[in-house]
Structure 1
């Protein structure tokens, strides 16, 4: 017990900085909540079928996570991207990065990510 108290006492100044600056949070809930969907589905991801399918699933999870982080409605984004992707493949002068959610949002009016209903 004394070891734990000594450890806390030695780090007390660093542990209590969050109340001096409003940018610091006393916990890491934002990070924990961001990775929760990955942690919940971890066992299920073992059975994607093969390595390529798992890689494709990871790409889709990443893109949908970008939609959520950018407050972009994934259905609107995917509908628009799927309608444009063929012209991007035919014209090498177009930059695929323009179709990423955070950039796409700037040139499109979207309603944002659907909110969870309580």
Structure 2
């Protein structure tokens, strides 16, 4: 495979650079890191389905991380736990392409009907436990073309 040959050439050049006299300290650290992480880096070549970055995870965490000190009440443990729970719920709904505002509206209305308490049975609120008709009802619908 072409990519494996290129992989071998890169490793060869890396090793040549490492034995050079008077190699700059920063360059040496980079090359040593390349040696230490070589096996993991090669996995991207062997399996191109593995993304080379984790931008999806980083972007998902961006809102909570940036906002954690800016949200009112975040100085208490209970509000931190509530925020973490809420961000997890919203991220799950997004992954399942569920309209977050509609889901939240329906959930809060159901709590009101249930004497302002959450339902004992959460299956109608968890996307992976919903039946297809419930998912369709709550899904984000693209506007007609």
Q: Same fold (TM over 0.5)?
A: yes
> By how many angstroms is 1:74 displaced?
0.9
Aligned length: 112
Report the more deviating stretch, 104-113 or 18-27: 104-113
Greater length-normalized contact order (CA 8 Å, ≥ 6 residues apart): 1
| Alignment correspondent of 1:40 | 66
Task: Give the CA RMSD over aligned residues.
Answer: 3.2
| Alignment correspondent of 2:5 | none
| 2:125 is the alignment partner of 1:99 | yes
| Alignment correspondent of 1:76 | 102
Contact residue 72 and residue 111 of structure 1 kept, 8 A? yes
Unaligned 5+ segments in structure 1 are: none
Task: Give the number of the structure whose alpha-carbon radius of gyration is greater.
Answer: 2
Unaligned 5+ segments in structure 2 are: 1-26
Report the more deviating stretch, 80-89 or 11-20: 80-89
TM-superposition CA deviations, 1:30-65 (whole Å, max 9, x none): 211111111110211463474434433333222212
Rounded Cα–Cα distance in structure 2 between residues aligned with 1:43 and 1:50: 11
Report the more deviating stretch, 104-113 or 32-41: 104-113
Rounded Cα–Cα distance in structure 1 between residues aligned with 2:77 and 2:29: 47
TM-score, length-scaled by structure 1: 0.68
Runs of 4+ more than 4 Å apart: 87-90
Contact residue 67 and residue 101 of structure 1 kept, 8 A? yes
